[in-house]
């Protein structure tokens, strides 16, 4: 009887679900700009009748369940809202084209919110509007304004997320992992803003499709290029010049986009070095970036794209001196950067199934070369050294999005990478030194995310990631659970609790604040175990005044294990037969904190205020005598304020103020005399002073704060048909002397030194500050093929088009 009752209840439940689903239609499609056909990331598609809605993903794609005959509202900032009538057509893929409104040129800075927690979204408009050093936007410095994300030091683009280090962040460039993302020792990032559509920043609660890094995910979506007209721009500033070209190609349904950037300071380095160091010395630094993307849309269901990126930094030093009959020559070169090539295929199989596949190759290499020669009448000598550290990543990814029912959807897929690490290859005078062997490894993952929404106020996300790591003599298989629960208190307020478990199978060894790159990736092995973290977070999001104001609060706690860093006293792996002996492993860490974000997205004044309180610690067996200490980048308090205002059609202003607690440092608590092995002619032993250091990171530097302001002047010339933009920026507007380095010495004139010989005098603490108030300017000109110049009664095609295609 009980069995019959259960069976009857099950049949009734199935019938109810089936009848409910019968009345529902799965609607899917893309939201694009009606003029350029560029996808709009983060556009809102809303079922007003049932108060349900979704936002488009990084491909401009949306999925929604609605009733037959219902009307959906589609909206995006800067575009006219439109309506989409739902029809019961099998496997219909909609293409929604939004028309730019009259305010398309308005500068809007807003902290956009998604239904998901633990993620912040920055649009291209926001990136272009935030003032930065050089009067040009920088992707990573914009991300540093978000609560929970801090900069490594003043002027750097290296980011630290919730107590993690720079090597624990995953940078996805159109779903491809880019290994190195900074120039000039972290001063600026490799991402050209002209190429970027949108950035999603995950600080915790990672979806199961993301893995391999402990602290954050920076998911960067590139633009496809304008499909209706050929456009471009050229920009020049104090530090670099850049260009961008985009538009359709002669092939049907194809677009392209190419951007490039090159430093303008190479010659200034040469001149400054010769003036300051003398004519015998020459120093030159520079970098370049080249991005390219080709996209083909044979039909609304399929999109294929090819991406290429190449970027390098290069630091060169030359020395030549002739004394009598002897000539000395020296040459040093440090070069580092990335290659990236990828192919991607996105396909809409049906109204409830979407897939994307990608095949990619990425190579990061750090090279160092040094040559020295001395040529004389009686003798000569030569010395040469070459060093290489490299990582190669050949990856394949396939992912699916599937709507099983109107309340259940899944993301699942496979990711696999074949990695080749060469941490330390040193050759001196043509002879290899130590271990030169490359280390091969497989890193694979199967993942699934289930999103369940049984009611309008409750959403569950439950999933996991099965990871496999294989290398010579070592293997690891693990399961990384992911879980998240969203509770809607009402249409404007919601709560979230999430948990994640993540492994990282490589360690970044980094030297802080050095223009010469020493960033070396070391693969996990039996003696250097993979790092891992467990993080739990909770948060609240709310909207006020009809969405004009937004607020969010979150708290988190994470524990880290099997961390690795340089042993004390080492800053690189060069020149040692056993590079593993320089690696400190088995470290532990803990980080916890609270974050607050207030944003204003509508009105004449827009902007946001962010604040975070945090604490992060580390503990290694052989550092600080094995005791726990504050993390090198622990900043208890961090805050940022960003505001923007468009004054008229030509002028807009923006300002950013940043505050951060000072970094910890290790104090000197005394000094002592140390005997030297050197003895003078009287056989008296030579003594020198050395500092005695206290507990590691037990003192704190002065607080860091800075104000940056920018003025944009945009003008369209009817005579030439071109739009131009001047950007005037003021970095560190009130000339705050923020500490970059603390050091101890007898007097400031001694410079940066740790001890001095036979000078038994009192010592003092001094600081070095790098960036005073710096005014900068940049100029940008926009070219558009649709504009014509009239000359002698005839129209002349745009020069850009004639150069490329005629």
pLDDT tops 50 at residue 767: yes
Q: Which of 592, 677, 676, 670 is nearest to 634 (CA)?
A: 592
For residues 741-765, give the mean pLDDT. 64
Q: Where is average pLDDT lowest: 267-276, 409-418, 510-519?
A: 510-519
- Distance (Å) of CA 707 to CA 151, 239, 710: 15, 20, 10
- pLDDT over 90 at 374, yes or no: no
At residue 757, does pLDDT exceed 90?
Answer: no
Residue 367 is encoded by which pair of tokens? 């090279």
What distance in Å separates the CA atoms of residue 716 and residue 639, rounded to the nearest whole number? 37
**3-class DSSP state of 524:** coil
48 SS3 class:
coil
Listed in sequence order, the residues at least 6 apart from 522 whose beta carbon sits closer than 8 Å to its beta carbon are 421, 423, 506, 507, 508, 509, 528, 564, 583
**382, pLDDT greater than 90:** no
Alpha helices in 101-237 (DSSP H): 124-129, 139-143
Instruction: Measure the CA–CA gap between 380 and 377, rounded to whole angstroms.
Output: 8
pLDDT at 796: 46
3-state helix, strand, coil in the chain (%, to 5): 10, 60, 35
Strands 188-189, 182-183: pairing is: antiparallel
Rounded Cα distance, 698 and 629, in Å: 8
pLDDT higher than threshold 50 for residue 752: no
Output 19 or 263, whichever has higher pLDDT: 263
> In the prediction, which pLDDT does 122 show?
76
Residue 577: pLDDT over 70: no
Tell me: pLDDT of 483 over 50: yes
Residue 311: which of 191, 185, 169, 155 has the closest Cα? 191
pLDDT of residue 789: 40
Please provide the size of the chain in residues. Answer: 806
Tens of pLDDT, residues 280-335: 888 888 899 999 999 999 998 999 999 999 999 888 888 888 877 888 888 888 88
pLDDT of the residue at 485: 95
Between residues 468 and 129, which one has the greater pLDDT? 468
**Per-residue pLDDT averaged across 773-780, rounded?**
88
What domains are defined for the chain? 22-98 (2.60.40.1120), 119-663+701-737+772-783 (2.40.170.20), 664-700+738-771 (no CATH)
pLDDT, tens digit (0-9, with 9 covering 90-100), for 699-724: 999 999 999 999 989 888 776 678 88
**List of residues 6+ apart from 405 with CB closer than 8 A:** 17, 21
Distance CA 480, CA 502 (A): 6
Do the beta carbons of residue 142 and residue 189 sit within 8 Å?
A: no
Q: CA 565, CA 622: separation in Å to the nearest integer?
A: 11
**Which of the given ranges, 481-485, 596-600, 680-684, has the highest pLDDT on average?**
481-485
Q: Across the chain, what does the average pLDDT equal?
A: 82
CA distance linking residue 81 with residue 58, whole number of Å = 20
Based on its alpha-carbon atoms, the radius of gyration of the chain, rounded to whole angstroms, reads: 29
Are 644 and 652 contacting, i.e. CB atoms less than 8 angstroms apart? yes
**CA pair distance 177, 186, nearest whole angstrom:** 18
> How confident is the model over 732-749, as a mean pLDDT?
82
Element (H, E) at 276: helix 266-277
According to DSSP, the β-strands at 44-47 and 71-75 are antiparallel
Categorize the per-residue pLDDT at 23 as very low, low, confident or very high, splitting at 50, 70 and 90.
low
DSSP character string of 660-681:
EPPPEEPPEEEEEEEEEEEE-T
Mean pLDDT is lowest, of 437-446, 537-546, 644-653, 781-790, for 781-790
Most confident of 352-361, 429-438, 547-556: 352-361
Query: Which region among 199-208, 368-377, 686-695 has the lowest average model confidence (pLDDT)?
Result: 686-695
- Structure confidence at residue 88 (pLDDT): 67
Output the CA angle 577-583-586, nearest 5 degrees.
145
User: Is the pLDDT reported for residue 171 higher than 70?
Assistant: yes
Task: Tell me what the mean pLDDT of segment 713-737 comes to.
Answer: 85
Q: Residue 441, class by beta-carbon neighbours within 10 Å (0-12 exposed, 13-18 middle, 19+ buried)?
A: buried
Among 70-74, 165-169, 475-479, the minimum mean pLDDT is found in 70-74
Which residue has better confidence, 423 or 277? 423
By the 8 A CB rule, do 237 and 778 touch? yes
Question: What integer pLDDT is reported at residue 172 of this predicted model?
Answer: 93
Pick the range with the lowest mean pLDDT from 141-145, 255-259, 561-565. Answer: 141-145
Beta strand residue intervals within 324-352, DSSP E: 326-350
* CB-CB neighbours of 577 under 10 Å: 11
The pLDDT value given to residue 15:
39
Burial code (b: 16+ CB inside 10 Å, e: under 16) for 42-58 equals bbbbbbeeeebbbbbbb
Over residues 609-645, the pLDDT tens digits come to: 999 999 999 999 999 989 999 998 899 999 999 998 8
What is the sign of the dihedral through the CA atoms of 191, 194, 195 and 201? Answer: positive
Quick one: DSSP state of residue 166?
A: G
Q: What is the mean pLDDT of residues 742-752?
A: 66
Distance CA(795)–CA(797), nearest Å, equals 7
Beta strands in 456-548 (DSSP E): 458-471, 474-488, 493-504, 506-509, 520-523, 531-544
Q: Write out pLDDT tens, residues 404-452.
A: 888 899 999 999 999 999 888 888 888 887 666 789 999 999 999 999 9
What's the confidence (pLDDT) of residue 17? Answer: 44
pTM listed for this prediction: 0.85
Q: Out of 325-339, 692-706, 775-789, which region has the weakest mean confidence (pLDDT)?
A: 775-789
Report the helix count and the strand count for the chain, using DSSP H and E. 5, 49
Confidence check: pLDDT of 3 > 60: no
**Is the distance from CB of 354 to CB of 61 less than 8 angstroms?**
yes
Mean pLDDT, to the nearest integer, of 82-86? 82
Q: What percent of the chain has pLDDT over 90?
A: 36
Q: Which of 283-287, 653-657, 802-806 bottoms out in mean pLDDT, i.e. has the lowest?
A: 802-806
CA distances from 334 to 287, 312, 436, 516 (A): 12, 10, 19, 7
- What is the Cβ-side half-sphere exposure of residue 656, based on CA atoms within 13 angstroms? 25
Tell me what the mean pLDDT of segment 359-366 comes to. Answer: 94
- Residue 576's pLDDT is 64
pLDDT at 134 over 90: no
pLDDT at 267: 80
| Confidence at residue 108, expressed as pLDDT on a 0 to 100 scale | 40
Q: What is the pLDDT of residue 705?
A: 93
Q: Among residues 28, 32, 34, which one has the least CA distance to residue 43?
A: 32
* DSSP for residue 754: S
* 501 bridge partner residues: 534
* pLDDT for 648 beyond 90: no
- pLDDT at position 102: 55
Compare 96 and 499 and report the one with higher pLDDT: 499
pLDDT at 192 over 90: no
How far apart are the C-alpha atoms of 584 and 581, rounded to whole Å? 8
């Amino acid at each position: 009887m009980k069995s019959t009752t259960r069976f009857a209840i099950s049949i009734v439940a199935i019938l109810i679900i089936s009848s409910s689903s019968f009345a529902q239609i799965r609607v899917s499609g893309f939201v694009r700009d009606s003029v350029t056909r560029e996808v709009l990331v983060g556009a809102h598609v809303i079922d007003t009748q049932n108060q349900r809605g979704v936002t488009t993903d990084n491909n401009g794609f949306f999925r929604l369940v609605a009733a037959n005959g219902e009307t959906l509202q589609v909206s995006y900032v800067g575009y006219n809202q439109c309506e989409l009538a739902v029809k019961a057509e099998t496997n219909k893929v909609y293409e929604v084209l939004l028309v730019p409104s009259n305010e398309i040129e308005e500068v809007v800075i807003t902290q956009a919110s998604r239904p998901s927690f633990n993620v912040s979204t920055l649009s291209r408009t926001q990136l272009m509007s935030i003032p930065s050093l050089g009067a040009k936007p920088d992707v990573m410095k914009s991300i540093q304004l978000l609560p929970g994300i801090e900069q490594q030091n003043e002027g750097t683009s290296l980011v630290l997320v919730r107590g993690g280090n720079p090597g624990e962040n995953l940078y996805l460039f159109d779903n491809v992992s880019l290994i190195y993302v900074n120039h000039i020792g972290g001063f600026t990032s490799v991402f050209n803003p002209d190429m970027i559509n949108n950035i999603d920043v995950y600080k915790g609660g990672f979806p199961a499709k993301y893995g391999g890094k402990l602290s954050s995910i920076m998911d960067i979506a590139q633009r496809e290029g304008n499909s209706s007209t050929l456009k471009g721009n050229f920009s020049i500033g104090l530090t670099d010049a850049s260009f961008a070209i985009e538009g359709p190609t002669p092939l049907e349904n194809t677009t392209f986009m190419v951007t490039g950037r090159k430093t303008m300071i190479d010659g200034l380095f040469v001149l400054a070095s010769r003036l300051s160091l003398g004519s015998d010395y020459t120093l030159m630094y520079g970098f370049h970036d080249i991005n390219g993307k080709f996209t083909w849309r044979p039909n609304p269901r399929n999109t294929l794209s090819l991406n290429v990126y190449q970027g390098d930094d290069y630091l060169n030093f030359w020395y030549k001196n002739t004394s009598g009959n002897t000539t000395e020559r020296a040459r040093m070169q440090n070069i580092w950067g990335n290659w990236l090539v990828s192919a991607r295929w996105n396909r809409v199989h049906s109204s409830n199934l979407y897939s994307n596949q990608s095949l990619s190759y990425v190579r990061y290499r750090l090279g160092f070369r040094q040559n020295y020669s001395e040529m004389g009448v009686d003798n000569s000598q030569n010395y040469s050294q070459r060093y290489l550290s490299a990582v190669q990543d050949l990856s394949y990814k396939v992912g699916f999005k599937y709507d099983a029912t109107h309340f259940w959807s899944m993301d699942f897929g496979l990711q696999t990478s074949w990695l080749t690490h060469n941490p330390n290859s040193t050759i001196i005078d043509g002879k290899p030194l130590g271990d030169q062997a490359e280390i091969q490894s497989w890193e694979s993952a199967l993942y699934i995310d289930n999103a369940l929404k049984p009611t309008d106020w409750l959403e569950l996300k439950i999933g996991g990631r099965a990871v496999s790591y294989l290398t010579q003599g070592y293997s690891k298989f693990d399961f990384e659970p992911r879980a998240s629960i969203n509770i809607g208190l009402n249409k404007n307020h919601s709560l979230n609790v999430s948990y994640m478990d993540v492994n990282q199978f490589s360690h970044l060894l980094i030297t802080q604040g050095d223009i010469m790159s020493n960033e070396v990736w070391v693969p996990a092995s039996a003696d250097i175990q993979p790092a891992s973290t467990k993080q739990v977070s909770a948060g609240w999001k709310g909207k006020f005044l009809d969405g004009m104001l937004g607020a969010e609060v979150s708290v988190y706690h994470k524990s880290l294990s099997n961390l690795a860093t340089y042993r004390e006293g080492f800053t690189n792996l060069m020149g040692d037969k056993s590079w593993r002996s320089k690696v400190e492993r088995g470290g532990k860490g803990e980080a916890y904190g609270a974050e607050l974000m207030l944003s204003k997205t509508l009105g004449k004044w827009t902007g946001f205020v962010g604040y975070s309180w945090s604490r992060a610690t580390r503990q290694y067996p052989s550092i600080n005598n094995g005791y726990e200490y504050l993390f090198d980048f622990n900043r208890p308090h961090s805050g940022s304020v960003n505001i923007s205002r468009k004054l008229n059609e030509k002028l807009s202003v923006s300002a950013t103020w940043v505050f951060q607690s000072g970094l910890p440092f290790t104090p000197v608590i005394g000094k002592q005399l140390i005997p030297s092995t050197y003895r003078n002619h009287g056989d008296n032993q030579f003594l020198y002073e050395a500092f005695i250091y206290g507990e590691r990171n037990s003192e704190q530097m002065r607080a860091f704060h800075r104000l940056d302001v920018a003025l944009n002047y945009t003008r369209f010339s009817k005579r030439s048909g071109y739009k131009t933009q001047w950007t005037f920026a003021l970095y560190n507007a009130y000339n705050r002397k923020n500490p970059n380095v603390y050091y101890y010495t007898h007097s400031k004139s001694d410079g940066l030194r740790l001890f001095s010989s036979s000078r038994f005098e009192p010592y003092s603490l001094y600081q070095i500050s790098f960036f005073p108030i710096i005014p900068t300017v940049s100029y940008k000109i926009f070219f558009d093929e649709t504009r014509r110049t009239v000359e002698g009664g005839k129209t002349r095609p745009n020069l850009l088009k004639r150069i490329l295609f005629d």
